[in-house]
Amino acid sequence: MKHLLLLLAPLWAFADTVTLSDGTFLRGRIERAADGYLEVTLPSLGGASQRIALAKVESFRTEAAVAVSMGGVVQRGIAAAVAGRVTSSGGVESCDLNGKFELWREPELRPMELRGLRQWTMQADFDLSGRSGATRGSGISAGFQAKGAREVDTLLASIRIVRAKAGTQTSADDLHVNLAYETNPTDIVFWYARTDSGYDNARLVDFFSVNAAGLGLRLYTDGSGKLDARVGLAHRTERYATAGLAQLSAPSADLGLVLTRELGWAALASSVSIVPSFQKSGDFYIRHESSINLLRGPRPLSLRLGLSNDFRSKPQLGQVKLDTAYFARLTYAWK
């Protein structure tokens, strides 16, 4: 009976809590604190981690025992902070909530020992989708993502395979392989490089690739999310299955927005990428995806409902411009 009650209890009951000075309340897992920042994993954002300046933290409390360093003295217990002071159930000493304060989860390495090491997070997902585009139909997709973050930069690699049918006709058969690198923002500025390559057989595209690099701007950030803009240069390539059709190879711009936001009852993630050609006026390519996470709590599983769009302003003869998918995506994340 005890185990049954635990399974039926709200998922978010088993989580650390953080309250920010602007009143924002977060539930998640406090991973570590060092160098004046608190790192919190938020399952509501698909397992993404947020680095929050300690100066913005009004209070926090861990659900389980952690190790903390208080002026050189290491204590182990449930840690809590309020009014700029940190205490631990494992000792009687307290310390200021400032840049000298450290927190970590045993048996993990102490933050000062992790400096310079890349921390990896993995996730695999599977979704069911309905589509409208070349034809209306339903299908599935599966993906994998690896994210490696350290203090100065972040690496991201992902792959997604999509299959959909409308009766006996293929409405989607595509592959996307993505690699991205970005420096962590200094104030609001960062640099990025990315590539998106694959094929889209339903649109008779044997191979496509967008390779881009440029400047990123963190337009807004707080403990609940961020809004990033991207401006850069790109090269877009497409090779077609239709015999005699000229292949595309065009220098382009690279424009984008990325939004993540904790809503309290759910979490929003949205991204849009626009690649307009410098070679042909009015020729541009857009990829967009927005999703909302409705499965809350510190468990590795999350459920997202969302939609994605793939738009080509000048498709091949007989092909549609816009392909849209509506999906329910189950994601499993781990470290």
Task: Give the mean pLDDT of 152-158.
Answer: 93
What per-residue confidence (pLDDT) applies to 243? Answer: 77
pLDDT surpasses 80 at 185: no
Output the pLDDT for position 296: 57
pLDDT band at 135 (very low <50, low <70, confident <90, very high): low
pTM for the structure as a whole = 0.72
Q: What is the mean pLDDT of residues 258-263?
A: 88
pLDDT tens for 48-69 read 678 888 988 999 999 999 999 8
Distance of alpha carbon 276 from alpha carbon 242, whole angstroms: 23
pLDDT, tens digit (0-9, with 9 covering 90-100), for 230-257: 999 999 999 988 877 778 899 999 999 9
Confidence class for position 45, pLDDT limits 50, 70, 90: low
Enumerate the domain spans of the chain: 2-114, 119-334
Lowest mean pLDDT among 63-77, 81-95, 97-111, 173-187: 97-111
Is residue 7 predicted with pLDDT exceeding 50? no
Give the model's pLDDT for residue 334: 83
The per-residue pLDDT for 5 is: 40
Q: Is the pLDDT of residue 276 over 60?
A: yes
Give the fold, CATH level 3, of 119-334: Outer membrane phospholipase (ompla); Chain C (2.40.230)
Residue 252 vs residue 303, higher pLDDT: 252
